[in-house]
Chains A and B, each alone.
Chain A
Amino acid sequence: MSDIIKIKTEYLNKLKNVSDLKEINQIKSELFGKSGKISDEFKKLGSQNSEERKKISSELNDTKSELQNLIEKKIKDIEINEINLKLKNERIDVTLPERTFNRGKIHPVSQVIDEISSIFSEIGFSVEEGPDVENEYNNFTALNTPESHPARDMHDTFYLDKNKKFLLRTHTSPVQVRTMLKGKPPFKIIAPGRTYRSDSDQTHAPMFHQVEGLHIDKNINMAHLKGCLNYFIKEFFEVDKIKMRFRPSHFPFTEPSAEVDIGYEMKDGKIIIGEGDQWLEILGCGMVHPNVLKNVKVNPSKYQGYAFGIGIDRLAMLKYGINDLRAFFETDYRWLSHFGFDPLDVPSSYRGLSR
């Protein structure tokens, strides 16, 4: 038996039982090191004649690669085993809870204001605001409701002085007055905000929210008013069809005035908007009264248009199934978490108003 075969047999046997990286490296250097057994055999080649050399070198090369391959494979196996073992030891129960995070929420009133603004933005309304504290003129007189007018009694007003000159605005309509006084027609605005009336029970809160709408231009008539509100209601409730009814009514600052009802039905204790044969009063509107236009220095023989006022809290209640108005303002952590909206959920026309 040649030395080469001897070496081969010996080491193949040795390698069979080895499982330790150190031992393998030992074997590796015994065979292929500077004075390793295989290396030595290669050195011996020089003393052979050419024919012998050819034969032995081929045998030697085969043996070398066979042993080398085996060693490489062994090393790889061991490494994989070691990694596997390490990973096994590092294993952790990932079903344990994560680090704490808090979920913030946007209040339904704010969310609905954003929804409303998004809808009206599409048809060219911009947002105006006015102060919560108003003077008596802007809140009443300029809106064709002089002191002697019984309609004043319809608003239970919070006053800030004994002379009743300063008050908390009872509606968002004074923003109409402010907007028209400081600008020139045409006007196309909405004005959402806080409003105040001094009554309080299950369905009334001393503070609530309204959005005012105003569109004044040269040829705006009641058909535009109806179209605008029909569009808004449909978009807001995200329904294809809406049953809507205009009823004559009276507000001192609009004429003709209307109250608007929408159709609904009750299904499993929930209100379904847009269908059914029940009516729900949802807003007041009308053509801006010429007296109001005169008061704000707009010529009523040249300009005309409509205004409307909608209760925001009520819209939110109807859309999101909230029963109690007063709960909006009671800051119950459970309620806020339940009815609040994710801050990333910004209403927009392209993404849809709500998820």
Chain B
Amino acid sequence: MKFTIDWLKDHLDTKLNDEKIIDKLTNLGLEVESFQSQPSELDNFIVAKIVSSEKHPNADRLKVCEVDIGKNENVKVVCGAPNAKQNLITVYAPPGAIIPKNQMKLSVSKIRGVTSYGMLCSEAELKLSDESEGITELSGNKYESKIGKNYFSNNAPKVIDLSITPNRADCLGVRGIARDLAASGSGKLRKINSSKIKSFGQQNLKVQIKKEKNQGCSAFGTFLIKDVKNKESPKWLKDKLLSVGQKPISAIVDITNYVMLDLNRPLHAYDADKIDTEILVRNSKKGESFEALDKKKYVLEDNMCVITDNSGILGLGGIIGGTRSATEFGTTNILLESAYFHPKSIRKTSKSLNIDTDAKHRFERGIDPNSIEEGLLVAANLIKKICGGTISKKDIQINEKFKKRKVSFPVTKLQSITGFKVSEKEIVKILDSLGFKITKKKKFLDLIVPSWRPDIEQEIDIVEEVARIIGYDKIKTELPEKVRIKPTLNKQQKLFHFLQRSVASKGYLETVTWSFTDSKINELFKEDKKEIEIVNPISSDLNVLRSSIFSNLIFYLKKNLDRDFKDISMFEIGPIFTGYKPGEQEIVLAGIKSGLASRLNWIEKDRKLDVFDSKRDVMQTLHEIGLDINKIKIDTKTPNYYHPGKSGAIYQNSFDKVPIVFFGEIHPNIIHKVDIKTDALIIFEVFLDRIKISERKIKDMKSKFQYSDFQKSERDFAFVLDKSFEVQELIKIISDVDKDLIKSIRVFDVYEGDNIDQDKKSVALNVTIQSTNKSLTDEDLNNLNKLIISSVENKTGAKLRS
């Protein structure tokens, strides 16, 4: 909502200066977006200096000038003026500027093969004088310091631009704003002097609102004004509209616009001679169409509120008029409309047809239903004054009577919500100045809500009105109590934070990427999950919700590889989506690592990353978040984007069906498809929501501290067994031999090749044996030795390697 201070003063008698008014508006909740002069076309013209001037290579009379326009880079301008010399200060017009003399719009153009960006202007071109011989010469003393600044000063009055929240329909007119300011003590609201209308005869153009279901119009008022002479608006009216950036059209249209901006009362003027017989306001039928004033043809659905005559549709009520009945300079008889349309109906229609107009914006938020007559009067008077003519008696058709809204307000409510006390007297004064009708009733105020405030329905609305007029600086600052009743984080949330920092501490950079992604990349990681499309994506490469975090990580990995980073470790923890309903999502931590484990380092050999780097990071992390590593199980059932032979799935318990982790090398096809060049690429995923965490605290879970000081012994074994036999199982068999004595098992060699059958491998293990209650004798150790060998041989078919 734009207006000037002068315009405001039409309604507000105030002594406040501009700054104070701006402050007051802010404190009332009318947010001031800006307070500056309306930009003018002349703002384009800039003081500039010719840095160098050379002869045009293909034209004797032209010059190519390097011009300093106060920006980082100079611009190149082709100029024919004889006085275009080095160091001359002059006026520059960029492409897009309109030259005052001939109203020509400049564009970047090639002049005899040299591209010219804009133009250096003569005084004649700027309409400063008749001097057209050369370009404008500005005095160095005065203008040297102004290079890059506007040449013309903008003397247009400063415009206040308010961002009006959707509840304040009443402030979409200058008068409403003045009323708020007056209520806050910033001045006095002036009376509107609507001089009486001398009316001649009946309004004899029949208007009717059709009684039907979903009728969007509840009242429709008209004047028939005859024998007018439509013309250009007088200067005061033009200036007023121009000052807020509206384009003057003709007196009749300008007057309706002016009344709308001034009083928040949208009006519409029809050329009465173009109306076929009579007006009927009714619901549209699907397929009906008309051409609107924006020159577009609209095809309507059922139940849109339309203004019609016997030939069809004239316009969409409260949204936009039609070309068929539009007023023109030749118009002599007009029908002036002032009506009330239901906000819901307006909103539905305009959304469905995708039309936004000033009238729609206002009706959608709710117009004062009691302003129909006032609007007609003010506009008709202006029309008569400017265009002459005779005004008929008014005709107001009413389909549905406006009910006054009443609120019974308990005075104590104000303090209970705001925390500060206001006397009843003060409350009454404020509400009165806002236009409420007040009856005191013990501890209540019975209020009749002003008709221009459709947003006020209940007690809390009254609290807000009083509070904002008094000012929010009256609210005290009550220091918060430092009391905690509930733990800040639950177990799952703690796990999230722990996991996040645990992985980061292993050298991974945390990133945050969009929850959406490119369906083409997502396809690679989606497996059999549903694709969740966004109906209105921001761009076609962010068109689905991600099924995997890798859809984004791989994309950004590639970008960073392209930046010449080679060894990259990144992770993200966040949602992936499995369906389009709330809750069909899962928190995943996904890590990705590319390149070499060690690169170009004097002390270590270069080594490519492999699955066991990924496994180390995962296992250490699982340890750190407190999982019992002895209980987990690993198998090789991994998603299709993992290397089928170099990846694993981890289950929290050996009996679990759903894995909590995948780790491994990425499938070579993915690297190929995404077109990535790297030495190696390993990935892992931790599915947070699948990890079962004990409800017990660590203090309740710690077992007794037990240790043994008896002698430890170590024994080495090497077994030859089937290649496909998993070491995980071998270790389990050995450790099951005697869980008390066998403290740890290390695998220190795996060998395939010479001296071993082709389908076999040799696994060498070191077993640490220790008793908690005695020193083991050689005999004890030998027995255990034998037991280990026989158990392994029996259960796996392995042979001790000799």
Interface residues of A (CB under 8 A from B): 96-97, 99-107, 109-110, 114, 117, 120-127, 129, 131-135, 138, 148-151, 154, 158-162, 164, 166, 168, 188, 194, 196, 198-200, 206-207, 219, 221-228, 230-231, 245-250, 255-259, 287, 289-290, 304, 328-334, 336-337, 340, 343-344, 346
Q: Are the C-beta atoms of A333 and B560 separated by less than 8 Å? A: yes
Q: Are the C-beta atoms of B166 and A151 separated by less than 8 Å? A: yes
Given contacts A221-B415, A340-B510, could you give 20 more A-B pairs where the C-beta distance is less than 8 Å?
Answer: A99-B604, A100-B598, A102-B507, A105-B509, A121-B484, A124-B482, A148-B348, A150-B166, A150-B347, A150-B365, A188-B486, A206-B538, A222-B417, A226-B477, A248-B27, A248-B29, A289-B460, A331-B513, A331-B553, A332-B560
A contact residues around B80 at 8 Å (CB): none
CB neighbors of A among B436-478 (8 A): 458-461, 463-464, 467-468, 472-473, 475-478
Contact status of A126 and B483, CB under 8 A, knowing A207-B514, A255-B464, A332-B560: no
Q: Please tell me if B31 contacts chain A, counting CB pairs below 8 Å.
A: yes
| Interface CB pairs A-B, < 8 A, 17 | A102-B506, A104-B505, A104-B510, A122-B484, A133-B581, A198-B538, A199-B538, A206-B514, A221-B415, A223-B477, A246-B473, A256-B460, A258-B472, A259-B31, A290-B459, A329-B512, A329-B513
Give the Cβ gap from A114 to chain B, nearest Cβ, in Å. 7
Contact among B477, B493, B603 with A227 in the assembled complex (CB-CB below 8 Å): B477
Q: Please tell me if B643 contacts chain A, counting CB pairs below 8 Å.
A: no
A contact residues around B501 at 8 Å (CB): 106, 343-344, 346
Contact status of A158 and B534, CB under 8 A, knowing A109-B512, A124-B483: yes
A contact residues around B113 at 8 Å (CB): none
B contact residues around A334 at 8 Å (CB): 563
Select the residue from B515, B516, B552 with max chain A CB neighbours within 10 A: B515
Give the Cβ gap from A302 to chain B, nearest Cβ, in Å. 12
CB neighbors of A among B507-533 (8 A): 507-516, 532-533
Give the Cβ gap from A115 to chain B, nearest Cβ, in Å. 12
Contact among A133, A226, A304 with B476 in the assembled complex (CB-CB below 8 Å): A226
Q: Please tell me if B364 contacts chain A, counting CB pairs below 8 Å.
A: yes
Interface residues on chain B, number (Cβ under 8 Å): 102
Q: Are the C-beta atoms of B475 and A331 separated by less than 8 Å? A: no
Give the Cβ gap from A229 to chain B, nearest Cβ, in Å. 9
Q: Are the C-beta atoms of B585 and A133 separated by less than 8 Å? A: yes
A contact residues around B509 at 8 Å (CB): 104-105, 333, 336-337, 340
Question: Which chain B residue lies CB-closest to A228?
Answer: B480
Q: Please tell me if B602 contacts chain A, counting CB pairs below 8 Å.
A: yes
Q: Are the C-beta atoms of A256 and B467 separated by less than 8 Å? A: yes
Among all A-B residue pairs, the 9 with the closest Cβ atoms: A102-B507, A248-B29, A223-B419, A250-B165, A331-B556, A343-B504, A104-B504, A248-B468, A121-B488
Give the Cβ gap from B661 to chain A, nearest Cβ, in Å. 18
Q: Please tell me if B570 contacts chain A, counting CB pairs below 8 Å.
A: yes
Q: Are the C-beta atoms of B418 and A221 separated by less than 8 Å? A: yes
Give A117 to B487 CA distance when docked, in angstroms.
11
Question: Which chain A residue lies CB-closest to B544?
Answer: A160
Contact among A133, A198, A304 with B582 in the assembled complex (CB-CB below 8 Å): A133
B contact residues around A245 at 8 Å (CB): 473
Q: Please tell me if B112 contacts chain A, counting CB pairs below 8 Å.
A: no
Q: Are the C-beta atoms of A247 and B29 separated by less than 8 Å? A: yes
Give A348 to B567 CA distance when docked, in angstroms.
32
Give the Cβ gap from B604 to chain A, nearest Cβ, in Å. 6
Q: Please tell me if B167 contacts chain A, counting CB pairs below 8 Å.
A: yes
Q: Please tell me if B119 contacts chain A, counting CB pairs below 8 Å.
A: no
Q: Please tell me if B565 contacts chain A, counting CB pairs below 8 Å.
A: yes
Give A181 to B159 CA distance when docked, in angstroms.
47
Contact among B28, B483, B534 with A160 in the assembled complex (CB-CB below 8 Å): B534
Q: Are the C-beta atoms of A99 and B489 separated by less than 8 Å? A: no
Q: Are the C-beta atoms of B510 and A226 separated by less than 8 Å? A: no
Q: Are the C-beta atoms of A246 and B475 separated by less than 8 Å? A: yes
Give A342 to B148 CA distance when docked, in angstroms.
46
Give the Cβ gap from B267 to chain A, nearest Cβ, in Å. 21
Give the Cβ gap from A216 to chain B, nearest Cβ, in Å. 13
Give A214 to B584 CA distance when docked, in angstroms.
25
Contact status of A231 and B480, CB under 8 A, knowing A246-B475, A250-B167: yes
Give A50 to B349 CA distance when docked, in angstroms.
139
Give A99 to B567 CA distance when docked, in angstroms.
15
A contact residues around B27 at 8 Å (CB): 247-248
Q: Are the C-beta atoms of B344 and A148 separated by less than 8 Å? A: yes
Contact among A100, A207, A249, A336 with B165 in the assembled complex (CB-CB below 8 Å): A249
B contact residues around A256 at 8 Å (CB): 417-418, 460, 463-464, 467-468
Q: Are the C-beta atoms of B417 and A196 separated by less than 8 Å? A: no
Give A51 to B27 CA distance when docked, in angstroms.
121
Contact among A103, A188, A304, A336 with B416 in the assembled complex (CB-CB below 8 Å): A304
B141-172 vs A: 1/0 string, CB under 8 Å?
A: 00000000000000000000000011110000
Q: Are the C-beta atoms of A246 and B472 separated by less than 8 Å? A: yes
Give A161 to B508 CA distance when docked, in angstroms.
37
Q: Are the C-beta atoms of A328 and B512 separated by less than 8 Å? A: yes
B contact residues around A104 at 8 Å (CB): 503-510, 569
Q: Please tell me if B103 contacts chain A, counting CB pairs below 8 Å.
A: no
Give the Cβ gap from B361 to chain A, nearest Cβ, in Å. 8
Question: Which chain A residue lies CB-closest to B597?
Answer: A100
Select the residue from A188, A199, A336, A337 with max chain B CB neighbours within 10 A: A336
CB neighbors of A among B552-600 (8 A): 552-553, 556, 559-560, 563, 565, 567-570, 574-575, 577, 580-585, 597-599
Q: Are the C-beta atoms of B483 and A96 separated by less than 8 Å? A: no
B contact residues around A196 at 8 Å (CB): 515
Give A328 to B511 CA distance when docked, in angstroms.
8
Give A324 to B348 CA distance when docked, in angstroms.
38
Contact among B167, B415, B512, B568 with A110 in the assembled complex (CB-CB below 8 Å): B512
